[in-house]
Amino acid sequence: MEFLSDLKDQVSTAYELLAAGWGVQLLWGIGWTLAVTVVSMLIGAVLGSLVAAAKLSYRGGLRFIGESYTTVFRGEPELLIIYLFYYGGTQVLTGVARSTGSIGSTDILNMPSFLGGVLAVGIISGAYQAEVFRGSFLAIHRGELEAARAYGMSAWLRFRLVIMPQVLRLAVPGLGNVWQLTIKDSALISVTGVAELMLTANKAARSTHHSLLFYTVAGILYLVMTSISTPIFEKAERYTSRSFTRPK
């Protein structure tokens, strides 16, 4: 019973606090979380396709670089990578700015927190996307590549007409998983001070002393984001594979 009355109090204060401005703040937080996730996914897509190409290369050196990239960035704690880019970026920027004399010898030039966070999460996302792209490439029927070669297609034409359309189609389910991972990783860049959902919930919890409420709301909002993306990716999968569906 004590539990129930507690819960009732929480619910009634919840409405007041959310209406008093924290609700709008949290919505902005969602906006930033989505911005971080989308930009990270794009960075990851560029890096991921390059790394996948390196891993599939016949040159040993390139394969080694690709392997090391995916091993390191999937094997390190996300938090460490984020700190490395944020604080490490600050270290580098400060060093450069001090030596060129654009800031005083005791001043510090901070890494922009959005840039640092997005780079870190994007690079992690790239490691997972590389594996997705590599898997999709390997799933392309060998005969199609041989046929394209037999037609005398150049490497670029083969890539554009045979490889890319199929990799994109086969990669959709895997990319859906990486998208979910990236949403969850984006919560970690709250440690660098990007005002995304996690940091907003943190601020609200600290200043109102209603941590249960705000972390629960944040948790629910993350659940909404991850569960909304599932049907979207399913739709994308149906769209990209529409010519492969069996006739009813």
Partner 1 sequence: MDFDFYLSTMWSVLKALPLTLEIWFFGIAFGLVIATGLTWLRASGHKFGEYFTRAYVFVFRGSPLLVQLYLIYFGLSQFDFVRHSPILWPILRDPMYCTIVAMALNTAAYESEIFRGALRAVPVGQIEAAKAFGMSAFTRFRLVTLPIALRLALPAYSTEIILMTKATALASVVTIMEMMGTAQKIQHDTFRPIEVLTCAGVIYLLLNLSIARLFAWVEYRLSPHLRPPPEQGQQVKLVPEVL
Binding residues vs partner 1 (CB under 8 A): 2-3, 6, 10, 71-72, 75-80, 83-84, 87-88, 90-92, 180, 183-185, 187-188, 190-191, 198, 201-202, 205, 210-213, 215-216, 218-219, 222-223, 226-227
- Comparing CB distances to partner 1, the nearer of 87 and 233 is 87
- Comparing CB distances to partner 1, the nearer of 162 and 181 is 181
Distance between CA atoms of residues 126 and 36, nearest Å: 14
CB of 88 to partner 1, least distance (A): 4
- B/e letters for 89-112, b = 16+ CB within 10 Å, e = fewer, are bbeebbeeebeeeeeeeeeebebb
Task: Report CA 189 to chain centroid distance, whole Å.
Answer: 11
Distance between CA atoms of residues 24 and 173, nearest Å: 33
- Comparing CB distances to partner 1, the nearer of 88 and 193 is 88
CB of 94 to partner 1, least distance (A): 9
CB of 247 to partner 1, least distance (A): 29
- Comparing CB distances to partner 1, the nearer of 31 and 165 is 31
Angle, vertex CA 239, rays to CA 51 and CA 54, nearest 5: 10
CB of 172 to partner 1, least distance (A): 20
- Comparing CB distances to partner 1, the nearer of 91 and 240 is 91
Smallest CA-to-CA distance from 123 within 2, 23, 40 is with 40
Distance between CA atoms of residues 134 and 156, nearest Å: 18
